[in-house]
Amino acid sequence: MPKVKVPRKSTTVDMTAMCDVAFLLLTFFMLTSNFVAKEPIVVAIPASVAEIKIPERDIATVLIDKDGKVFFGLDTQQDRKELLKTLGLAYAATIPAFDEKELNEFSKISSSGVPIEKMHAFLALSPEKRDSKDAALGIPTDSLNNQFSAWMKNARKINPKLRLAIKADQQTPYKVIKRVMTSLQDIKENRYNLITSLKEVHK
């Protein structure tokens, strides 16, 4: 009987297949990804059974944290730049106009909220300091100095297709929500989306 030959196999494995898989997955993630937008505050959103998904484009996000601070975000850099420009014009009596550098800085911040008087100082801060809690002041919403409605009005002018999404913390007092809602009602913004996480119906 002839001896069974056991050929010596090399221990290296062909990596081509694995490489293919890795890059396939990579492509998938790159195409489907939308990055987590950086938010100035952490918000624990309430849950609901609503199953409507939030649209991807033309979204203005109103962030409200549990201390009642209000932040405003637009989805494109171009819109954000325009927003600050028009805001600067609207408040030309109280603050100096924003220069190109400041506009560019602002367009990089996905959602922000500082009183307009402090916007110059805020934009002069370094990006790290901007993220700190002390810098997150919120947009004033009280009826005497309602800068929030000015933000919203200008954002609407820039993008008429804009849809409003309100993302508020579970523990936000209703007083604050009411104030935001009335200021929106005053400028005839009467359709909003309340952002919630999904939960099952308990029977």
Partner 1 sequence: MAEMQVEDKGKKGKKPKQKKHATRVDLTPMVDLGFLLITFFMLTTSMLKPQTMELTVPTKDDVKDEDQNKVKASQAITVLLGKENRLYYFFGAQENGVDPELVLTDYSSNGIRQMLVKRNSEVVNNVNQLKLDKAARKISEEDYNKKLSEYKAAKSAPTIMIKATDDSNYKNLVDILDEMNICSIARYAIVDITPYDLGLIDKKTPPAK
Residue among 71, 85, 169, 183 that touches partner 1 (CB under 8 A): 169
Residue among 8, 53, 133, 161 that touches partner 1 (CB under 8 A): 53
Q: Counting contacts by CB under 8 A, is residue 172 touching partner 1?
A: yes
Full strand arrangement of the beta sheet holding 70-74: 111-112, 70-74, 59-64, 163-168
Of 58-117, binders to partner 1 (CB under 8 A) are 64
User: Which residues lie across from 72 on neighbouring strands?
Assistant: 62, 112
From residue 98, alpha-carbon distances to 8, 155, 195 in Å are: 73, 17, 32
Q: Counting contacts by CB under 8 A, is residue 52 touching partner 1?
A: yes
Residue among 78, 89, 145, 173 that touches partner 1 (CB under 8 A): 173
Closest distance to partner 1 from the beta carbon of 177 (Å): 5
CA 68 to chain centre: 17
The Cα angle at residue 57 between residues 100 and 43, in degrees rounded to 5: 85
Residues 193 and 2: their CA atoms lie apart, in Å, by 79
Residue among 2, 7, 11, 16 that touches partner 1 (CB under 8 A): 16
- Based on CB atoms, which residue is closest to partner 1, 14 or 128? 14
Closest distance to partner 1 from the beta carbon of 12 (Å): 8
Give the list of residues 6+ apart from residue 72 with CB closer than 8 angstroms, or none: 60, 61, 62, 63, 111, 112, 113, 139, 148, 151, 152, 155
Residue among 25, 57, 78, 120 that touches partner 1 (CB under 8 A): 25
Among 166, 164, 146, CA closest to 156: 164
Residue among 4, 10, 11, 33 that touches partner 1 (CB under 8 A): 33
* CA atoms in the 13 A half-sphere facing the CB of 180: 27
Closest distance to partner 1 from the beta carbon of 60 (Å): 13
User: Where on the chain is the footprint of partner 1 (CB under 8 A)?
Assistant: 12, 14-16, 18-19, 22-23, 25-26, 29-30, 32-36, 45-54, 64, 165, 167-175, 177-178, 181, 185-186, 188, 190-198, 201-203
